[in-house]
Amino acid sequence: MRKTLSSLIILFFISFFSCSEKTDKNIQVVDFDEFYSKIDLSSDDTYVINFWATWCSPCVKELPYFESVNNEYADKNVKVILVSLDFPSQIESKLKPYIRRNKIKSNVILLDDSKMNKWVPRVSEKWDGGIPATLIVNSSNYNFYPSSFEKEELVAEILKAID
């Protein structure tokens, strides 16, 4: 009995910690040039890039829509990248817990580049740097949206880009 109980406790801890590792994403911290180099417009992929932060209420409200798109359109070569503008010092205390709590499976990177005046206009001349903001881009489309989305609007814009 005691041996069985010990075995069950050990199995519980092993499964608990292995589940934790699977949901604990390793957040890559990049500057804008590193981020920009990840976008391959010579491929058949459509990138849905959302600029957001955990402290931004409209950002947090729309994140489930991006997660849904990540799940529903992966087979259509749609790649969702969630570009966090959170503070690098808060990766462990805010960003990772948020991702774990909300079971975010999309690719999340943290953009750490203080030269906003240089990289914001490279994303779009229409962008003042406010978030949320989204870029939907592929080899034949470059569409920037400097506001939040409802799910139906997001899907409609993606469908325009992939059709």
Please report whether residue 57 resides in a domain. yes
Please report whether residue 110 resides in a domain. yes
* pTM metric for this prediction: 0.83
Residues 101/126, Cβ–Cβ less than 8 Å: no
- C-alpha 95 chain-centroid distance: 11
| Residue 61: domain span | 26-162
Please report whether residue 140 resides in a domain. yes
Please report whether residue 60 resides in a domain. yes
pLDDT in tens, the chain (163 residues): 544 433 333 333 333 333 333 334 689 999 999 999 988 888 899 999 999 999 999 999 999 999 999 999 999 999 999 999 999 999 999 999 999 999 999 999 999 999 999 999 999 999 999 999 999 999 999 999 999 999 999 999 999 999 8
Give me the pLDDT at residue 20, please.
36
Percentage of the chain beyond pLDDT 70 is 85
Question: What is the per-residue DSSP string for the chain?
Answer: -HHHHHHHHHHHHHHHHHHHHHHS--PEEE-HHHHHTT--TTSS-EEEEEEE-TT-HHHHHHHHHHHHHHHHSGGGTEEEEEEE-S-GGGIIIIIHHHHHHTT--SEEEEE--S-HHHHHHHH-TT--S-SSEEEEEETTEEEEE-S---HHHHHHHHHHHH-
Please report whether residue 15 resides in a domain. no
Please report whether residue 92 resides in a domain. yes
Alpha-carbon gap, residue 160 to 163, rounded angstroms: 6
Please report whether residue 16 resides in a domain. no
Alpha-carbon gap, residue 68 to 106, rounded angstroms: 9
50: domain CATH number is: 3.40.30.10
For the chain, how many structural domains are there in total? 1
Q: Locate tokens 């589940």: which residue?
A: 19
Give me the pLDDT at residue 41, please.
86
Please report whether residue 112 resides in a domain. yes
